Structure 1
Amino acid sequence: MKIGIIGATGHVGSHLLKAALAQNHEVTAIVRSPEKLTVAVPVLKKDLFDLTTADLSPFDVVIDAFNAPRGKEEMHKSSLIHLATILSGTPVWLIVVGGASSLYLNQEKTKRLLDTIPETSPIHPTASNMAQSLAALKEVPDVTWTYVSPAANFIYDAPYTGKYQINEDVLVKDEAGKSEVSMADYAQGVMDLIENPQKNIHISIAGNSENY
């Protein structure tokens, strides 16, 4: 499988790169600063907003692990609209590293995690814009996508455990009442998703907090 990873030098992106290489996929890092890469892989050095349909058409899958800088949280939405627009009408599958804010808190899907975050909270701009990005993605016609939310607590430096589950768009908590997943487990979950596709859908990947 030919996979392009946008933001492959970031926290989540680096885990995704490692997991994809371990599965023997043909991986290209789509980054602005290739000198930050710790493994030797083909590189497309380009800003996300400068990417074109021609740049991404060679891939079977493009994973968007872009993370908007603080103070520019609206880029979560604008970047995803750009990617979805240039991939519209192509067979390329866009997998988005999403946020937990858009996950529902009940099976009736009447309340989202975002609804519990005060507007005065420092995480609200990111949470709100990531939720808006999912809504905007759904409005772009003729694009194949999967929006993959992590658990509420997304842990960078926790080890890979292999104890994770792919779920629907409802927040999952473990027996201790915690919603957590390591980025390493999340990345492997995304690889599992590529092997067993779920397309044009919002899903989540959660782990077991006892492991972290």
Structure 2
Amino acid sequence: MKLTVLGATGGIGKEIVRQALDAGHEVTAVVRDPARLPVTGDRLEVFRADLTDPGALRPAVGGRDAVLSGLGARGRKDAGIAARLTRTVLAALEAEEVRRLLVVSAAPVGPAPEGDGFLDRAVLGVVSAVLKDIYADLREMEAEVAGSGTDWTVVRPPRLQDKPLTGRYRTVVGGFPRKGRFIGRGDVAHAMLGMVGDPATVKQGVGVAY
């Protein structure tokens, strides 16, 4: 497949690029600073683009089978960036008539897992309060994506870890794995790549966790 990866220098983005190349896909990695992308390969195109301009992004997404986005805030000071940049992405996809889009959100933005106990709910409440601006940004991003004409999937991981790819995790379409508290960035990337061709995940939020 021909894939475009947005936020390709981020933790999840780098893993998507690396794993997609290993799987034999052609990858366009959209970055602001090419020097920050440590991945190389014969099937890799590094595309430097201003993500505030849909016109500048169009050549990077046109003719692709899917676009996978790891865009999002790296801290509370960046709150608002996910929705803002995703609007640019959606405009570029519409102009190029590219339909398949996968984006990363966060577990607290989606429905609570069935059967979680008091402690799980309490921890989630504290985290949501501390990061409320980031989650508000992600909710706005999800609303923009859901209102678009794309065949979208929103992937909602819990707390992210820098761990080697395991390929062993749980996914719940339309919900979230019970007591799923952590997941490695490499496994989020693995899950997203697996969802690209999965019709069951189209126009759905998908919880993913260990």
Normalising TM by the smaller chain, what interval?
0.7 to 0.9
Deviation at 1:190, TM superposition (A): 1.2
TM-score normalised by length of structure 1: 0.82
The answer as to whether partners of 2:58 and 2:93 remain within 8 angstroms in 1 is: no
User: Identity, % of aligned pairs?
Assistant: 23
Structure 1: give runs of 5+ residues left out of the alignment: 208-212
| Pairing 1:146–2:122 present | no
Q: How many angstroms does 1:88 deviate by? A: 2.7
| TM-score under structure 2 length normalisation | 0.82
Partner SS state of residue 145, structure 2: helix
Q: Could you tell me whether the CA contact under 8 Å between 1:165 and 1:189 is conserved in 2?
A: no
Give 2:92's aligned amino acid.
Answer: I
Measured on the aligned residues, the alpha-carbon RMSD in Å equals 2.5
Moved over 6 A (4+): none
Q: Which residue of 2 aligns with 1:210?
A: none
> Would you say 1:124 and 2:132 are equivalent positions?
yes
The 2-side partners of 1:184 and 1:72 are apart by 23
The structural deviation recorded for 1:69 is 4.7
Separation of aligned partners in 2, 1:120 and 1:31: 29
Q: Which has the higher helix share?
A: 2
Q: Which of 99, 103, 106 pairs up with 2:110?
A: 103
1:121-160 deviations in whole A, cap 9, x for unaligned? 43111122112211222223x222111111x2221x2122
Distance in 1 of aligned mates of 2:127 and 2:22: 41
Residue 83 of structure 2 corresponds to which residue in structure 1?
77
The aligned counterpart of 2:184 is 182
Q: Where do 5+ consecutive residues of structure 2 fail to align?
A: 116-120
1:54 counterpart residue number: 58
Counterpart residue number, 1:203: 206
